[in-house]
Amino acid sequence: MRGGLARYRQLLSGPGMLGCGTAALASKFQGSMFSLSLLFTVAPGRSYATAGAVAAVSALGGIAAPARGRLLDRRRYAPVLWSVLALHAVLVAVLLVNEGARGPLPITFAAALGANIAAPPVGVVTRVMWRFVTSEENRSTALALDAVLADVGFILGPMAVGVTSSLLAPSASMAASVLASTLATVLLLRALKGREPAKSGTAERSWKGSLASAPLRLLLGCTLFFSAAVGGVEVILASHGGELLGSVLVSVLSVGSIAGGLAVGALAPGHAARVGRLPSLLLYLSAAGALLAVSDAGHVVLTVALVMAVGMAFGPCFVALYGQTAEFSPAGSAAETQAWVGAALQGGSALGQAAGAYTLDSLGFGRAMALIPLFALLGAGLALFAERITPRVVAE
């Protein structure tokens, strides 16, 4: 079968697949819009320092993601998604009313945290969707498309927030974020109509949930270290390069990630499986990060080329992670598994950003960038160990 764009055309030409792709794109706006719109809403009446604190506290709501995932595994998607969305919208409304009236700051903190705890798990549903609406033949292409759409969402989402805040009001961007979540919910439920995963029975449930899988636990550790590498390189490049060059370099990372993801998705399944092995991809990321760490950071052309090389590992790594975590997931826990992946990605990003910023400020560009190959190597080791123990676990 031909590769290249033909594989994407084949994927999207299937019954209902264009709707699945549209639903996947809509789901990518939530994460990129909520925190930024929250910052823009709170800052005018308080300060940017206070708004940043509210956004940081709100981010703690990500710890509820596995609980939402487990709920999806045990109940039909529609009641869960609509109930969570309604609570999310009410809490956003409370925050907007309180900020409009310059009300007590603790109410803003509580509403922001609650709104994120109740954020509709549309990203989780999207990753589950691809596994149940695609065949083995085109699954790697679907996961690659999803990774590319995530990059697109994180480019277009902030732009939508900026335009809405500028033309209307900062609070309008919060309303736009809720509307984006609503649109994603509608499209995902339509895409999954009649194809929703079977629910696990009571006898099949372990109190550990998806964490009962040892390979999955290892892979979640790998996910955390990979995400730390991503978050670290982003904050190091943005801080070291200054406002203009830093923004350009972070954009180059996204372009590289899109290019890498598209390339993997264009391969036939056999080739994609060989090229897209997670340990190999993370070793490549480690090597590219090491070259960037020892390069002359003042040489702009060389830096851009190496940043592109680093970014090209991101998309394929996301494809491999989402694919393998689904394979390691115990029966009936698909949504909870993907929710744990999301939580590990958030935690790793926070770790990488904090470590990268501190090391850059204390030791400079080269030593801060040396964290990236270190994180990648740690992730590669865990991924390799997960692969090696999988046959023994399955045999048991």
CA atoms within 13 A on the CB side of 224: 13
Domain match, 267 and 367 both: yes
Do 214 and 321 share a domain, yes or no?
Answer: yes
What Cα–Cα distance (Å) separates residue 28 from each residue in 52, 80, 180, 185? 22, 19, 9, 12
109 and 258 part of one domain? no
Q: What is the pLDDT of residues 187-236, one digit of tens each?
A: 999 888 877 776 665 545 566 778 888 889 999 999 999 999 998 898 88
Q: Please check whether residue 363 lies inside any domain of the structure.
A: yes
In a domain, 294, yes or no: yes
Please check whether residue 124 lies inside any domain of the structure: yes
Place of tokens 């692969």: 387
The pLDDT assigned to 392 comes to 41
Host domain of residue 132: 17-192
Residue with tokens 């904050």: 235
pLDDT reading at 393 higher than 70? no
Same domain, residue pair 247 and 343 = yes
Average pLDDT over residues 141-145: 87
The average pLDDT across 241-246 equals: 68
Look at residue 245 and tell me whether its pLDDT is greater than 80: no
Model confidence band, residue 298 (pLDDT cutoffs 50, 70, 90): low
Rounded Cα gap, residues 200 and 70, in angstroms: 10
Higher pLDDT, 238 or 70: 70
Specify whether 176 is located in the same domain as 256. Answer: no
**What pLDDT is stored for residue 203 in this prediction?**
44
Radius of gyration of the chain (CA): 21
Same domain, 222 and 188: no
For residue 180, what is the domain's CATH number? 1.20.1250.20
Q: Please report the DSSP string for 360-382 in residue order.
A: HHHH-HHHHHTHHHHHHHHHHHH
- CA-CA distance, 104 to 247, in Å (whole number)? 35
Same domain for 177 and 269, yes or no, is no
- 122 and 60, same domain (yes or no): yes
Q: Is the pLDDT of residue 275 over 80?
A: no
Q: Are residues 156 and 237 in the same domain?
A: no
Which pLDDT band holds residue 381 (cuts at 50, 70, 90)?
very high
The reported pLDDT for the residue numbered 98 is 95
Cβ atoms of 137 and 332 closer than 8 Å:
no
Residue 257 has pLDDT above 50, yes or no: yes
The stretch 329-350 carries a mean pLDDT of 86
Question: Are 186 and 303 part of one and the same domain?
Answer: no
Does residue 6 belong to any structural domain of this protein?
no
Say yes or no: 223 and 371 in one domain: yes
